[in-house]
């Protein structure tokens, strides 16, 4: 089988590629990525010499390239997106361009080639789950910030293309991922990097927001299971049921690093901040049999240790902007 992966030089896309090539040595995989912020081609060092792997530097909005690649491949999997909520608040435009228009370009290619399109979305499209049961795939979309609004827009376009044109597609909505190779601006790597430099670790509004965490390899294996056994036109939530406050998460990381908890600094809140994300993933479990297999505390410990062992990976990606205590105030 030939697979086109878009956005494979980022955190989750690169984990998908490393894992997919290991599990499916007979398949050929092409990775298209424009290498914007969040990406790092070093994430793919392990596979760059694999004859079954091929990299193309391009933009998902380049419809000519995408259409040609769609003809040559059997499945299109899209991880390419602008992904940092804070940056979407200070400048929403690139989010609309990549997350909405980029998805449109891929949908057109899937429509013309009649290939299966896997749309990687997020639990954030449901909006705030404070005082509510966990959202199922049947709940309405109620995004709160420009990032989640552009992801929700893409989800709606995917559904419309299935209904109107009958394209083959599957949408996945996963919770917060953690693991090696995550860009330093995100909560866990930023905590590890700032703490390792004995800098204060910023937390919005006391860090009482609840997020549900999944180890990145569980996420990519869930996607692989859907490529094989998912039903076209359907949406699947993906969670590992690890709901904790951001404060508890940061405290866990600091304890693993033997750093004092008084490094934590309250920096006020971010506009439009959701208090809780929570989803139910019974549907994927029933459909494909997938369930998370990595134990949360052990995976977190291994993640912290990976960043501690690999400063040569994160140092070149780290600057005042990526480590800023209130990135939504920064002019990106």
Q: Does 134 bind ligand NAD (CB under 6 A)?
A: no
Shortest approach of ligand NAD to residue 117 CB, angstroms?
13
Compose the 114-133 pattern: x for residues touching ligand NAD by CB under 6 A, - for all others.
------x-x-----------
Return the half-sphere exposure (C-beta side, CA atoms, 13 A cut-off) of residue 96. 5
Q: How far is CA 154 from CA 21, 151, 293, in A?
A: 28, 5, 29
Shortest approach of ligand NAD to residue 303 CB, angstroms?
13
For residue 127, which of 143, 147, 139, 151 has the smallest C-alpha distance? 143
Site for ligand NAD in 85-104 (CB under 6 A): 98, 102
Strands of 116-245, DSSP E: 116-122, 169-174, 176-178, 201-203, 210-215, 234-238, 242-245
Site for ligand NAD in 295-324 (CB under 6 A): none
| Active site amino acids | 123-124, 147
**Judged by CB under 6 A, which of 115, 151, 194, 276 binds ligand NAD?**
151
Q: Does 17 bind ligand NAD (CB under 6 A)?
A: no
Cα–Cα distance for residue pair 155/160, rounded to 1 Å: 9
Q: What contacts 49, CB < 8 A, 6 or more positions away?
A: none
Pick the closer one to ligand NAD by CB: 82 or 259: 82
The DSSP output letter for 101 is I
Pick the closer one to ligand NAD by CB: 239 or 259: 239
What's the distance, CA 237 to chain centroid? 13
Cα–Cα distance for residue pair 32/42, rounded to 1 Å: 15
Q: Does 155 bind ligand NAD (CB under 6 A)?
A: no
Q: How far is CA 239 from CA 13, 176, 247, 283, in A?
A: 18, 9, 20, 11
Q: Does 7 bind ligand NAD (CB under 6 A)?
A: yes
Q: Does 180 bind ligand NAD (CB under 6 A)?
A: no
Shortest approach of ligand NAD to residue 181 CB, angstroms?
8
Compose the 44-83 pattern: x for residues touching ligand NAD by CB under 6 A, - for all others.
---------------xxx-----------------xxxxx
Pick the closer one to ligand NAD by CB: 63 or 326: 63
Q: Does 179 bind ligand NAD (CB under 6 A)?
A: no
Shortest approach of ligand NAD to residue 100 CB, angstroms?
11
Q: Does 35 bind ligand NAD (CB under 6 A)?
A: yes
Pick the closer one to ligand NAD by CB: 176 or 235: 176
Q: Does 169 bind ligand NAD (CB under 6 A)?
A: no
Beta bridge partners of 75: 3, 116
Q: What are phi and psi of 265, to 5 degrees?
A: -130, 130
How many helices and strands in the chain, by DSSP H and E?
12, 12
Strands of the chain, DSSP E: 2-6, 28-33, 53-57, 75-78, 116-122, 169-174, 176-178, 201-203, 210-215, 234-238, 242-245, 264-266
Joined together, the tokens standing for residue 139 give: 């709940």
**Judged by CB under 6 A, which of 88, 113, 150, 176 binds ligand NAD?**
176
Pick the closer one to ligand NAD by CB: 122 or 281: 122
Shortest approach of ligand NAD to residue 78 CB, angstroms?
7
Q: How far is CA 206 from CA 164, 202, 216, in A?
A: 46, 9, 26
Count of residues in contact with ligand NAD, rule CB under 6 A: 30
* Interface residue list for ligand NAD (CB under 6 A): 6-7, 9-13, 33-36, 38-39, 59-61, 79-83, 98, 102, 120, 122, 151, 174, 176-177, 183
């Amino acid at each position: 089988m030939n697979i086109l992966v878009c956005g494979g030089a980022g955190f989750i896309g690169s984990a998908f590629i490393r894992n997919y090539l290991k599990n499916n040595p007979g398949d050929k995989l092409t990775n298209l990525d424009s290498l914007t912020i969040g990406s790092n081609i070093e994430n793919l060092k392990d596979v760059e010499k694999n004859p079954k792997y091929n990299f193309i530097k391009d933009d998902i909005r380049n419809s000519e390239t995408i259409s040609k690649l769609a003809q040559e491949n059997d499945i299109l999997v899209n991880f390419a997106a602008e992904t940092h909520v804070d940056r979407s608040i200070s400048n929403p435009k690139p989010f609309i361009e990549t997350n909405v228009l980029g998805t449109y370009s891929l949908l057109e290619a899937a429509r013309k080639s009649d290939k299966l399109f896997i749309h990687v979305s997020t639990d954030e499209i449901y909006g705030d789950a404070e005082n509510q049961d966990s959202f199922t795939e049947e709940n309405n979309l109620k995004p709160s910030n420009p990032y989640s609004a552009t992801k929700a827009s893409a989800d709606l376009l995917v559904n419309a293309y299935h209904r109107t044109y009958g394209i083959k597609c599957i949408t996945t909505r996963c919770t917060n991922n953690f693991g090696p190779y995550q860009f330093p601006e995100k909560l866990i790597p930023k905590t590890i990097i700032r703490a390792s430099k004995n800098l204060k670790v910023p937390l919005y509004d006391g860090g009482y927001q609840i997020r549900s965490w999944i180890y990145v390899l569980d996420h990519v294996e869930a996607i692989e299971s859907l490529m094989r056994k998912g039903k076209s036109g359907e949406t699947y939530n993906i969670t590992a049921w690890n709901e904790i406050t951001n404060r508890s998460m940061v405290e866990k990381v600091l304890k693993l690093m033997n750093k004092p908890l008084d490094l934590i600094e309250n920096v006020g809140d971010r506009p439009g901040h959701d208090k809780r994300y929570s989803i139910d993933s019974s549907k994927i479990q029933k459909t494909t049999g997938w369930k998370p297999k990595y134990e949360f505390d052990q995976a977190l410990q291994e993640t912290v240790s990976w960043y501690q062992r690999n400063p040569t990976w994160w140092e070149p990606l780290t600057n005042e902007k990526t480590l800023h205590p209130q990135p939504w105030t920064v002019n990106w």
